[in-house]
Amino acid sequence: MAELMAKIFNFISKEALIMSMAFLPFLELKAAIPAGISMGLHPFHAFLLALIGSTLPAPLILLSFRPFFNYLKQSRTFRKLAERQSDRILRKGRNIKKYYALGLFLFVAIPAPTTGVWTGSMAAALLNIRLKYALPAIFLGNTVAGLIVLAVSYGLLG
């Protein structure tokens, strides 16, 4: 019985760890998929867990980021920081602005540093891309990024 409980705990804790890792802004699924595979998870299981974990922040960011940034811009303490971050995100999001949802999809689909769900969601919020266009573009882009990372992790690319 103890062995079964240990197996269940290890299984659940691995899943929770991969989803949590994927939820984090700089790691996302780019780190979570290889980590899941290295922990012994089936590659598609690691992919699905990482996809779920990394997609979860998107609606939260899309709905709350602009009001939060506007609040910070009104603060004497955080105004300069908020404006710098806003400018940085909008510079990265030039093609998002130009191509709208397609640009957002492509931005999120490229599994490179500083691209992904967090930055794409922040850019979409700052560029006023409607939720009904932003969320599917982010999800599909994240799926493509995850498939690329899965293929690289599995040795099919690169």
pLDDT of residue 102: 95
Tokens describing residue 34: 């290889």
pLDDT beyond 70 at 148: yes
Averaged pLDDT, 87-116: 88
H/E element holding 73?
helix 57-74
Averaged pLDDT, 121-137: 94
pLDDT of residue 94: 79
- Between 158 and 79, the higher pLDDT residue: 79
Averaged pLDDT, 45-60: 96
pLDDT of residue 1: 66
Report the C-alpha gap between 137 and 3 in whole angstroms. 44
Q: What type of residue sits at position 82?
A: A
What's this model's pTM, rounded to 2 decimal places? 0.86
pLDDT of residue 20: 93
pLDDT of residue 144: 98
Taking CA 22 as the corner, what is the angle to CA 137 and CA 156, rounded to the nearest 5 degrees? 80
Digit-coded pLDDT (tens) for 1-23? 667 766 766 667 889 999 999 99
pLDDT beyond 90 at 130: yes
Report the C-alpha gap between 41 and 34 in whole angstroms. 10
pLDDT beyond 60 at 158: no
Report the C-alpha gap between 111 and 115 in whole angstroms. 7
pLDDT of residue 86: 83
